[in-house]
Structure formats: C-alpha cells, structure tokens
Amino acid sequence: MNLMRRLLPLTLAASLAACTLGPDFARPPTPLGDGYLAKGEQGPAGTQRSAPGQHLSGDWWTLFRSPDLDTVIRQSVAGNQDLAAAESSLGQAMQETAAAAGVLYPQADLMAAADRERVNLTAYGFSGPSPVFNLYQVGPTVSYALDLFGGLHRQVEEANALAEAKAYQLDAAYLTLTGDVVVQALTIASVRAQIAAAEDIVADDLQNLQLVRTAKANGSATEVDVLHADSQLANDRTLLPPLRQSLAEARHALAVLVGRTPADWSPPDFALDGFRLPDELPVSLPSALVRQRPDILAAEAALHAASAAVGVAEAQMYPDITLSANLLQQATFPGHLFQEAASAIAAGGGLTAPLFHGGALEAQKAAAEAAYKTALARYRQTVLRSFAQVADILQGLNHDAEAVDTEDKAVASAEASLRLTRLSYAAGNVGVLQVLDAQRQYQQARLGAVRAQAKRYLDTAQLFLAMGGGWWNWQGRAGRAPELEPAADRSVQ
C-alpha cells in the first residue's frame, strides 16, 4: 500500500502533463442559405404548401390520417428483423466502446505461478553446485499506461465515434423501415385503384362489344367492326395480370417489413381515399437538415472516427511509458505462502520508444490522414446528395399538382367525348372506330389520373423522409453512446 501511495502522485502528475496528439475533431461548417431550389424553380403548389422552418413530427406518417397505416407501422417497428439487427449492432458497438475505455484506467490482475528452477550461482559470483528448487508465487499485479501522447485516448474517441455512427445507422434503419411501410401501403392503394379502373375499362369494352354486335344485327355495323371491338377487349384485359402481380408483390413486401411471412399475415386493403394528402408540408431549413438526417450524421460520426485515427497513428511515433507494481507471495513450498517472510514487492516503469520501423509509422499516419480526407469528401457528398434530393422532391410536388390537375381535366373531357360519341354512334352519325378511339382516350385518362394522384402521395412521403422523418423526437429509439468533447477546434488540413 505504501508503494501505491508513492506511485499515485507520479501517475497523476504524468497524466496532467500528457498531451493528446492529432487533430481535435471540429464539426464541418453548416451550409448557408435558407432554401433548396434554384432561382426560378417552384415548390409545392395547389392544395399543398410548404412550411419552411417547421419541425416534422416523429410519427410523420400520421399526417396521412390512416389508422390502418398507423397499425402496420407499429407492427413493423415491433417485428422487423433489419431494425432488430441494427439495435443489436448498436448494443455491440456501445459495449466495445466501454471495453476500449478500460485502457484509460489502471489494470489490476491476480497472478499465480508455479515454476521449477535451477539457479546458476556462478553468474552471481558464487561457487558450488547450482541448486534446483520449486518456486510458488501468488499475488496482485497492477499496471498503468501513462498515455503521455494521447494514443489511448484517441483510440477511445475513435471507438466512441464508431458507436455513434452505429446509433445513427439505427436511426436510418428506423427511418427506412417506416418509409418503406408507407411506400408499400401507398403502392397497394395505387395498384388497387388502377385494377379497379382497368376492370371498369374491361366492363366498358364488353358493353361496346355488345353494342357493336347489336349494330351488326341491325345492319349498321360490319364484321370488321365486331373484330375491332373484340380486339380492344382482348388488349385491355392484358392490363390486369401485371397489375395483380404488382399488388401481390407489394403485399408480400409489406408482410416481410412487419416481420411475418406472406402466408400468415395479410395487410389491410389500403385505398387511396383512405389517405389524406397533407395540406402543410414541414420543410427544414438547410442549416437544420444536416442535424436531422441520420445519413448525414452517420457520415459525420465516421469523419470523427477518422479524425481520431490520425491521432492514434501519430501517437504511435512517440514513446510509451507503463508503470507496474506487484505484491507477491513467494515460497519454495506452498505451505510457506502468506507468511511475512514470503512477501515480495516490486515496482517499476518501462519505456518503449520507436527507433526504426522501415517507414511503417510514417506511412500509417499518412494513410490515416488520407482516410480522413476520404471521410470528409464522403460527408460533403452525402450533404450534397441530400440537398439535391430535397430539391428534386420539392419541385416534383409542384409538377405533381400540375399533373393531377391536368389528368382530372383530361378525364372529364374524355368522358364527355365518349358519351357524345356513343350517342352519335347510336344515331348512325359515326362509326365504331370513332367509339373505340374515344374509349381509348378515356381509359388512358382514367389510369393517368390514378397514377398522378398516387405519385403525389408517394412524393409527399418521400419529402418527409428527405427531411429526416422526424426521428430526433422519436421517444422509443435506443440511447446513444456518450460523446467525447473536443479539446480544441483543430482539424486535419
């Protein structure tokens, strides 16, 4: 104990005098500006409007006002295996961080050994035969790495940053999961609407075919007209199989997201009129987006880890000093252990300084600095992609509003044209080809309207995802590893 009391002041003094080599991580500067679109471009229009600077709720999908969707989201968060794997991966990373931090503290172990030795008395200046005896040792040993140049601290910082990246990857997995569920639900609703439209088209074709056959029986149509109508029916029936396949695939994909097999779980029959298109769209400012999107934050955490790795590599070029002490019981017979005469104390320090490593240490530092620059470029590219994604969706929503309005007008115009053409055909003023052409235009308009409406819903969901999905106020997500505070605002150049 007296030995430890003597060593403790030396240890504390050495720790206080230590420096941490390498760059202290500095968060990249926040992008400037208050918008995403280029000059002359427009965002959401029509019944939707953007709300710049407004935060998005963590349960952003509730903006669609679909109780069925809310239920499926809850089921997917509880049962999805990708999310479970991400949670486990974060737990592993946090434990690895805690394990890495252990090197900053003194290491205490219990040592026990039994040896048979032969002492060379000549080496100590004595003559006579060298005795052979058994030596038994047991007792605690303590060692402490002073970490004068901060290599161990940088290793802990690197592990902590990697754990933080795992935490953001969990956030990204949660965001991806909820987004995929919403997309598949909207896909089911869209495809079901398209199937309903296609079935109505086939029903109209059957009606037209009967009309032409009646006209042929009356002598006002020919066999060619009948064949045209029958061909139209056959062609329109081909719309249904691929749509039904798409519906099956979306339903199966949603079952997997929930963590079930398609055989033992079926999603609700989502319909487009079961969703409400949000009128107000929360749009974060660019300066806030980089603090909200988990992919950006994960890239930043990876950049932090790369910065710490530079310090680790640089510290390897400087000496390491380790203090050690042990309090042992030593005896030639086991029964003599733990007697006062058997006590042995040892204390010391060891220094290891690199002299020549064939340029390996310099190369390792240069590689770490290059890895930092790579991580920085990837971070900046992630930010650029995110801004472009938001800009694409904002302008896409404007075009979606135009498309919905145009398609609605096209449906109304085509429906009126088809009605008048059928009346003219019944009066003998036009032929069957004009009726079929009018019907074709009406069919295309109806399908186009359904697709335009679904696209608007999907792009609205994509905007919420591009904004980060409001994960930062999700109360159920896992905790984070503690963040090490940077000592100064220095970064690798």
pLDDT per residue as tens, the chain (493 positions): 443 444 444 444 444 445 788 889 998 887 767 788 888 888 887 788 888 888 888 889 999 999 999 999 999 999 999 999 999 999 999 999 999 999 899 999 998 988 888 888 787 777 778 888 888 889 899 999 998 899 999 999 999 999 999 999 999 999 999 999 999 999 999 999 999 989 988 988 898 888 788 878 888 778 888 898 899 899 989 999 999 999 999 999 999 999 999 999 999 999 999 999 998 898 888 888 888 899 999 999 999 999 999 999 999 999 999 999 998 888 888 877 888 778 888 889 999 999 999 999 999 999 999 999 999 999 999 999 999 999 999 999 999 999 999 999 999 999 999 999 988 977 878 877 788 788 888 888 999 999 999 999 999 999 999 998 876 544 344 333 333 333 333 333 3
Give the span between the Cα atoms of 438 and 421, in whole angstroms. Answer: 7
pTM of the predicted model as reported, rounded to 2 decimal places: 0.82
pLDDT, residue 486, reads 35
Q: Which of 16, 11, 28 is nearest to 486 (CA)?
A: 28
Q: How many CB atoms lie within 10 A of CB 433?
A: 13
Burial of 418 (0-12, 13-18, 19+ CB in 10 A): buried
In terms of phi and psi (left: phi > 0; alpha: psi -120 to 50; beta: otherwise), the region of 345 is beta
Length of the chain: 493
Give the domain 17-106+150-319+360-473 fold. Answer: Outer membrane efflux proteins (OEP) (1.20.1600)
Strands 132-145 and 320-331: antiparallel
Phi, psi of 155 (to 5 degrees): -65, -40
pLDDT, residue 471, reads 62
How far is CA 463 from each of CA 56, 101, 278, 281, 295, rounded to the nearest angstrom? 11, 40, 12, 8, 15
